[in-house]
Amino acid sequence: MTAATKNIIDKLETLPKSMVNEVEDFIDFLKAKHAKQPEKSINQDDLVEEPKGLYGAAKGLFIIPKDFNEPLEDLKDYM
């Protein structure tokens, strides 16, 4: 028995019954999840490059009017 297995058993013994049942369900979930996905080797051609940051990508797509910070006509009565 490995040290990791012994640690898991020690921790399981300290849990209440309801939590032990959750751990058992999680183990079943992990087994089912990995049974569905057969191990396959990673081909470098299959890897997708993560996109770079897009800072400035929207430059020129919209214009902020010069009077953007000026009070609106509709709100002059409240000022």
Query: What is the pLDDT at residue 74?
Result: 87
Residue bearing tokens 């993560």: 50
Query: What is the pLDDT at residue 17?
Result: 85
Residue bearing tokens 């940051």: 53
Q: What does the DSSP 8-state code read for residue 48?
A: P
Q: For residues 18 and 25, what is the distance between their CA atoms, to the nearest angstrom?
A: 11
Query: What is the pLDDT at residue 14?
Result: 92
The domain limits of the chain are 1-37
Query: What is the pLDDT at residue 62?
Result: 86
Please check whether residue 23 is in contact with residue 15, taking contact to mean a CB–CB distance below 8 angstroms: yes
Please check whether residue 23 is in contact with residue 12, taking contact to mean a CB–CB distance below 8 angstroms: yes
> In the numeric block, which tokens belong to residue 25?
């369900």
What is the C-alpha radius of gyration for the chain, rounded to an integer number of angstroms? 29
pLDDT tens per residue, range 14-71:
998 888 889 899 888 888 888 876 656 666 666 777 767 778 878 888 888 898 898 8
